[in-house]
Structure 1
Amino acid sequence: MRMRPTLAWTPPQDWPSGTTDLEPVANALSTGGVLVLSGAGISTESGIPDYRGEGGSLSRHTPMTYQEFTASDQARRRYWARSHLGWRTFGRARPNAGHRAVAAFARHGLVAAVITQNVDGLHQAAGSKDVVELHGSLGRVVCLSCGTFSPRGELAKRLQEANAGFDPVAAAINPDGDADLTDEQVGDFRVVPCTLCGGILKPDVVFFGENVPPQRVEHCRTLVREAASLLVLGSSLTVMSGLRFVRQTVQSDKPVLIINRDPTRGDLHAVTRVALPLGTALTTMAERLDIQVD
């Protein structure tokens, strides 16, 4: 089960410190067969905030759980009002240098695949082909009754038509794509049903309190087994959904390398943690490896 994130984890005083030495990561990439595990930190340079970094959204925002969403009409109204407004910003986000570097490494056969904890679709937009969206995608919508999938853009148009004039000013946009709105701003926002069966629509993302599909987890475990190393990019590894792949890699006697500015729960398992901005670190490595980043 994907647990709701907290601010509780703080590294002990004797936790390993980060470095600026990119050599171990460059060496792993030059060998090839690298599996990338990416988190919210790789998308911050595209204007999407993370949960736990400096100014992270968890200091002011608690993501909705699956149980809340399915149990309450008011909870769904609040979610879709916030998400509809947030999608205007979220949907305009574009890949940054980090996403483009990962795609370039893949084109040169150095990165075998990407497992991303993000729901923004930016790895694919940058050109990465073999991407597993561990927590789904905000770009798709699913009906909880008939199981039909549809593009988020279609729902956005329907919500816009049903809520003409809805244009509140949000305090902030969050990593899960919704906006900080008060109950007064949500008001009587109208939620629209599935066009086929009239059922409840939900973004095709794994909410906190909901299980990642077992077949998706097993596919990720297969990628770990087939990889030569695991490169973690921009994830604090605070929740088990990502940390379990780090542990699996270590149990297989394969190296784990991390690029994240802040300490992570996986640092004790890693060969190194590079504490540099991801765009800078990845483009620097691309230059070292004589790889052009588009």
Structure 2
Amino acid sequence: MNTGNIKKAVKLIRESRYMVAFTGAGVSVESGIPPFRGTGGLWNTTHPIFLEIEYFQKKPLQSWKKIKEIFYDKLGDAEPNIAHEILAKMEKRSFLESIITQNIDHLHQKAGNKYVYELHGTYKQLVCIGCNSEYDMSFADLNFLPPTCFVCKGILKPDMVFFNEAIPEFAQKKSFEEAQKADLLLIIGTNAEVLPAAKIPEIAKKTGAKIIEINIKPSPFTNTVTDVFIESRATEAMEEIGKLLYL
């Protein structure tokens, strides 16, 4: 890890008036949550068909069995790591305005961040595919699948974005607005390979933001929009940044 680039990043953070963080799977892997793509990714061992909305609608029981195994049996025990914790402290100390995340794990909120925009939804909430009623995940007894709606008896679906589903309108609108407001964008643990997430750094750059990137290897952003690249795991880089910010 380049300590010179850590110091450059801290200087930019101190000088920033409106910093926004943009996070992906790399911020949560050290909390025990595997990424979807790349080394150790879920799609290397599991066919993603169970997260296609058409498959879910036709075969909700089969889909829910795999969803429970992969998400609900694991995510509930996951705890924020030092990277999440430093981001929460940054918000409390007014270094950070908001987080745009592609993660569905709710760990930013669990760590204490209040302004989090979830581009791909969250596993913490369920929504009825019949009447759109919303429930906290604690409502459902996942020993009995598929869970059903108290209002209309329709099937409940995790409120995360499935393949062939639209991004939540509010989350996308707020994420784009935050990217436009930012004078500094802190990218952590993402290559943002899917749209519209891939647009976030580009939007920020076009409106004049400086960009700090923390990734374990160069990404499509590194040689295009990034100003300071820190080649590191999220926990290591954020811990060092936190120390220099006296968090």
Counterpart of 1:4? none
**Off by >3 Å, runs of 4+ in structure 1:** none
Distance 2:47 2:64 in 1: 15
Q: Does 1:287 align with 2:243?
A: yes
User: Equivalents in 2 of 1:43, 1:254: separation in Å?
Assistant: 25
The secondary structure found in structure 1 opposite 2:78 is: coil
Of 66, 73, 77, the match for 2:53: 66
Which residues of structure 2 form unaligned runs of 5+? none
Tell me the SS of whatever aligns to 1:22.
Answer: helix
Of 194, 207, 217, which residue of structure 2 is paired with 1:239? 194
2:22 to 29, 37, 41: 37
Query: Over aligned residue pairs, what C-alpha RMSD do you find?
Result: 1.7
What amino acid is the match of 2:100?
I
1 or 2 for the larger relative contact order (CA 8 Å, sep ≥6)? 1
Residue 77 of structure 2 corresponds to 92
- What is the TM-score with the length of structure 2 in the denominator? 0.91
* Contact map agreement 1:53 1:262 (CA 8 A) in 2: no
> How many angstroms apart in 2 are the aligned matches of 1:31 and 1:51?
35
- Which of 66, 79, 82 is residue 63 of structure 2 equivalent to? 79
SS in structure 2 at match of 1:41? helix
Partner letter of residue 173 of structure 2?
E
- Is 1:109–2:65 an aligned residue pair? no
Deviation for aligned residue 1:218: 1.6
Deviation at 1:85, TM superposition (A): 2.8
Task: Rate the CA distance shift 1:273–1:52 in 2: closer, same or farther, 3 A.
Answer: farther
| Contact in 2 for aligned 1:260/1:274 (Cα 8 Å) | yes
Structure 1: how far apart are the matches of 2:165 and 2:61? 19
In the alignment, residue 12 of structure 2 is paired with which amino acid? A
CA distance in 1, matches of 2:243, 2:147: 49
Q: 2:6 aligns with which of 22, 46, 54?
A: 22
Q: 1:271 corresponds to which residue?
A: 227
- Structure 1 range deviating more: 114-123 or 242-251: 242-251
* Aligned-pair CA distance for 1:273: 2.2
In 1, the alpha carbon distance for the partners of 2:8 and 2:195 equals: 25
Identity %: 27
The gaps in structure 1 that reach 5 residues or longer are: 1-17, 163-189
Is 1:218 the counterpart of 2:202? The answer is no
Show the 5 A alignment for 1:51-62: 51-62=36-47
2:10 partner amino acid: A
TM-score, normalised via structure 1 length: 0.77
- CA, structure 1 residues 102+216, in 2 after alignment: closer, same or farther (shift >3 Å)? same
- After superposition, the Cα gap between the structure-2 partners of 1:237 and 1:105, relative to the gap in structure 1 and judged at 3 Å, is same
- TM superposition shift of 1:19: 5.3
Q: Displacement of 1:59 after TM fit? A: 2.0
Aligned counterparts of 1:24 and 1:276: Cα–Cα separation in 2? 15
Q: CA deviation at 1:84?
A: 2.1
CA distance in 2, matches of 1:264, 1:62: 25
Whose Rg is larger? 1
Which residue of the other structure, out of 138, 149, 158, is the alignment partner of 1:153?
138
